Chains A and B, each alone.
Chain A
Amino acid sequence: MTETDGRTLAPWRGALRVVGAPIDRIDGPAKVSGRARYTTHVTPPGLLHAAVARSKVAAGTVRALDLSGAERLPGVRAVLAVAVPGQKIRFAGQDLAAVAATTPEIARAAVARIEVVVEPTPHVVTLDGAMADGAPRVHEDPVQARRTEGDDPTEVRGGGRVTGNVRPLPAFEHGDPDRAFARAAHVHEAVYETPVVLHSALEPHALTVAWDGDDAMTVWASTQSIFSVRDEMASIFGLSPERVTVICEHMGGGFGAKFGASAPGSRMGFIAGTLARKAGAPVRLALDRRAEQEVTGNRPSSRQRVRVAADGRGRVVALEVVSHGTAGVGTGAGVGRNAAHLYEKIPHRRVRAHDVFTHAGPGTAMRAPGHPQGAFALELALDELAAKIGADPLDLRIAHDRHPVRRREYELGRARFRWDDRRARARAARAAGARVRTGAGVAASIWGDFGRAKAARVTVAIERDGSVHVRNGVQDIGGGIATVLAAVVAEVLGRPVERVHVRYGASTLGRSVGSGGSQTTSSVAPAARVAAERARRALLEAVAEATGTPPGAVTLEAGGTVRVGPRRLSFEDACRLLDDDGIEAVGQRGPTRSDAPYPFPGGGRPQIGGVQFAAVEVDTWTGEVRCTHLTAVHDCGRVMNAKAAESQVAGGIMMGLGFALSEQRQVDPVHGRVLNADLERYKLPGFGELPEIDVHFVPVETDANETGSLGIGEPATIPTAAAVACAVFDALGVPVRTLPITPDRVLAALRDGRAEAAP
């Protein structure tokens, strides 16, 4: 436990045998064959099914609840009032009551018999409405911001005093923007808008609770954070966390909405646990798609007034973003780090964001909270300024960015994407007034390494039969952490990946992190390496002792052969020398040791970059936009699994294309209901949207942790919509400043552009 301690273990240098290669995911066969068990596949004996009565009005006061109709229905085993008379209703879909019954059908029928009298009060669901004088107040009392492991942990907390429905978020200011704007040669100012979008994980929120006596329970949950489910359930029911076992073997997506025992807008853990206790039987609460889209969180909207100014020599001198957005009844409608910190060579910068409360389901972290919205407005505004001053958008970005890796990424992308050719072709088609235009745009990502010390305890065991086992309670939300653990341990022990058995997805397997903030790999993989190094050392010591060899004379060679003085033993033969207990070693990650190659704002941790180049084709008659090509140049320290990392970036791009082109929550202004709480009119991107995707990683050697791995989940989606919007601007010569960029908006922008150009 000395030289292999996480504090002093030297980071990997140079090429490795397993880590970084394209590795098939170890859970792949189970998933494609249908063997993988997701939360709702788990059916403990006697399982009951829960359903929740939800508010049909957006605002009001609960006056009475009558549960008797549900209680009388045969097959109903427990009924629970979640709301109480006098309670305020602040959004449609809010929990009112719940039942557990022998079948899902009976549970739903029982819910329909619950009578809840809600006295409606005026509601407001639009940004304009909520900001108007005399608008109904959504919250009468001070609001506590809800934060999860999905949020940037370094973000300044708190907020200003609420006025009406508007709550200022902590402001950022650098330099003297007012003075700079007053003196600038060129100023561009415009308003940019992004809609509320929905996480839309294919697997809706689901939770099954089975009590084991009065003081223990097992919970199967579709979650991004097994331990936050455990701790929250323990807290709700007054149990010791040790007595709560949480299991998530496989999960079908979270994107920020699945932290803790409750969904952001529904007390799922409380409901399932209470019903299970009342009924004396396990209870499963799985949301249907409508509830999933209405109450389990969303990416807040934004309306951003952006001002950006240049001096007479083409240098950008000032930037200001004033944003208002709605997270419904929740908080967190910020615009991320982009405007504040991406272009640090802009000397004067100001960002002021505000939450605007509306009577709608709460927002929550969604893959890079604030960043895709912020990137869209910032990058498109920058391109509009570039057009005014005759600058090339790519040159302008490089000129104002201090991050050495991102600057390199821009240059690599320029060549891979053939930026200059594509821009020239767009210019020619624009000048000719072509019907079908093409365009090219570029945008960047800023994210931090939020990997945490001692947050994960990974166990590596070597058995006498030569088998190698890794255990940790981490959930694999799709990023492929289980495969990374196998690869890291295989690397250290000289074993093939398929000979390393990984157990994960249960709180009994050792403390671990939540999968938010792109921190899973950089928190858990280093702990696995530390544990594996300890196991390796213990194995060699045991072989030395068993063979009477001086410890220094036993070494592990590539391929797992153990060299004992002049003799060579296969790994299996060496393991036979172990005693019955085999070897078990536990490892934890040390603290972040370096912020090289370039610090995240605030210092102490590396900043992750990444740039994306989008090419689009636009039909100027119909307004149809297609992204034809996307070049993504990213960095995430040392890549652990080339295949999974590429896949992660491709997934982020597809998610960004939905934000750019088709996704928006639609709410009825009169009834306050989500109208497209489905996957039909809520338009996730599909294969028709899939562009040619070219993913390239810039390897970065960082000493931040024992594996040199950094996150990639969130950086992968931050710049996509921005790059697409910039490309559309390049194609048309006029900007579309509202997402999603739908055909009607393209034609409206062209019409407005013509009107502006006319004398």
Chain B
Amino acid sequence: MNPFRLVRPRSLADAHAVLGADPRGTTIRAGGVDLMDRWKEGIDRPATVLDLRTAAAAEDARALASLSATATSLAVGALVTLDALAETPLPAAFAAVRAAAGQAANPAIRRQATAGGNLLQRPRCWYFRHPDLACLKKGGSRCLAAEGNNRYNAVLGGGPSYIVHPSSLATALVAFDGHAVVQASPGRPKEIPLGEFFVGPTERLDAETVLRPGEILLGVRVSAPAGARSAYDAVRERRLYDWPLVEAAVRLRVEAATLRDVRVVLGQVAPIPWRAREAEAVLEGRRPTPERLAEAARAAFEGARPLSDNHGKIAVGRGLVRRLLHQVTGVPLPA
């Protein structure tokens, strides 16, 4: 770790003043979980660390630490911990969000880690994280996973980098319509649709969202149609405290025995939370028969292009989506 300056702002305005002075040299710290990992490995070398948590009590920062919900809307402040998100009773529509937060990491990390930090964490790709290897996202000339050991890398939407987006919470949130609430300077924040917030390596290599230096993520707001339900689940090589091999979130509602407003999102398979639109199309406006659900699960990975070591994700992911569709639609799972 390098020597650094720690700043503890007393308000958002304070925080913006510090950020504005040196946007590129300032790193925002919330829970600090991923930041500490990157810092210790020398991937980040922040000159100034801005601890957002000390601003949270101020009047202008109220949104940062608040969690509120109605039957059809959910607002998550960037400083809300994963544990709070998992343990707070939320309307049924947002079950996927609770489940994703509750399955992430381990209890100790969930009590420390924040929603904002989780959405903005950097990729876990072992080439990106290796202190001695210069991958494409760290200024190298090519993606080392593409020609190397890519067991955990992307099967969908990859190239020129094949990272997968690390945030399980993002996978769940993208199953809803919503916005990231971002503030570039004191005053009215801007709202960026979640579908545009996360960006892949063709658009950016230095980050996985559109957030720019100097901007603060205040939180996320999502909504669900009345009567919607959702679910999230993951397949892991280790049952607890493990990054998923594949994860998925599904949101839909059932109207007159047919499926409506279906959204299927895959995680850990692409550089962004991946909308499986082919699967959605199979289900939208149709009756949820076991055959239909199986067909949708197959369609979810339509167009997947595995690398040398990760083709296994496709079959695992199809099985997961199929099981999850049964659970969320209420179609009984076979024994």
* Interface flag for A623 (CB, 8 Å): yes
Among B149, B311, B322, contact of A621 (Cβ-Cβ < 8 Å): B322
* Interface flag for A624 (CB, 8 Å): yes
- Do B235 and A624 touch (CB < 8 A)? yes
Query: How far is A506 from B242 in the complex, measured between Cα atoms in Å?
Result: 39
- Do A662 and B237 touch (CB < 8 A)? yes
- Do A688 and B238 touch (CB < 8 A)? yes
Which stretch of B54-62, B264-272, B313-321 is in the interface? Answer: B313-321
Query: How far is A662 from B323 in the complex, measured between Cα atoms in Å?
Result: 23
* Nearest CB of chain A from residue B78's CB, rounded to whole Å: 24
Interface string of B228-249 (1 = CB under 8 A from A): 0000000101111111010000
Q: Write out the residue numbers on chain A whose beta carbons fall within 8 Å of the beta carbon of B239.
A: 626, 686, 688-689
* Interface flag for B312 (CB, 8 Å): yes
- Do A666 and B126 touch (CB < 8 A)? yes
- Do A623 and B148 touch (CB < 8 A)? no
With A621-B319, A622-B323, A623-B319 known to touch, is A435 a contact of B335 (CB < 8 Å)?
yes
* Interface flag for A661 (CB, 8 Å): yes
Query: How far is A662 from B238 in the complex, measured between Cα atoms in Å?
Result: 7
Interface string of B143-169 (1 = CB under 8 A from A): 010011101100000000000000000
Among B127, B240, B312, contact of A743 (Cβ-Cβ < 8 Å): B312
Interface string of A623-636 (1 = CB under 8 A from B): 11010000000000
Among A619, A673, A686, A751, contact of B238 (Cβ-Cβ < 8 Å): A686
* Interface flag for A670 (CB, 8 Å): yes
Interface string of A678-718 (1 = CB under 8 A from B): 00110101111100000000000000000000000000000
Chain B interface residue number, banded: 35 or more
* Interface flag for B210 (CB, 8 Å): no
Q: Write out the residue numbers on chain B whose beta carbons fall within 8 Å of the beta carbon of A743.
A: 235, 237, 245, 312, 316
* Interface flag for A436 (CB, 8 Å): yes
* Interface flag for B331 (CB, 8 Å): no
* Interface flag for A56 (CB, 8 Å): yes
Among B148, B311, B333, contact of A435 (Cβ-Cβ < 8 Å): B333
* Nearest CB of chain B from residue A656's CB, rounded to whole Å: 15
- Do B319 and A675 touch (CB < 8 A)? no
Query: How far is A528 from B151 in the complex, measured between Cα atoms in Å?
Result: 52
- Do B240 and A687 touch (CB < 8 A)? yes
* Interface flag for B6 (CB, 8 Å): no
Query: How far is A675 from B128 in the complex, measured between Cα atoms in Å?
Result: 10
- Do A669 and B149 touch (CB < 8 A)? yes
* Interface flag for A82 (CB, 8 Å): no
- Most chain-B Cβ atoms within 10 A of its Cβ — which of A436, A667, A747? A747
Q: Write out the residue numbers on chain B whose beta carbons fall within 8 Å of the beta carbon of A683.
A: 237-238, 242
- Do A744 and B149 touch (CB < 8 A)? no
Q: Write out the residue numbers on chain A whose beta carbons fall within 8 Å of the beta carbon of B127.
A: 668, 675
Q: Write out the residue numbers on chain B whose beta carbons fall within 8 Å of the beta carbon of A668.
A: 127, 133, 144, 148-149
Among B311, B320, B334, contact of A622 (Cβ-Cβ < 8 Å): B320
Return the 3 tightest CB-CB contacts between A and B, nearest first. Answer: A744-B312, A688-B239, A621-B319
Question: Which of B's residues lie within 8 Å of A, judged by CB?
Answer: 1, 124, 126-127, 130-133, 144, 147-149, 151-152, 235, 237-243, 245, 311-313, 315-316, 319-320, 322-323, 333-335
15 A-B pairs (CB sep. < 8 Å): A434-B335, A619-B323, A622-B323, A623-B319, A624-B235, A662-B237, A666-B151, A669-B148, A673-B133, A675-B127, A686-B239, A688-B238, A747-B315, A748-B312, A751-B315
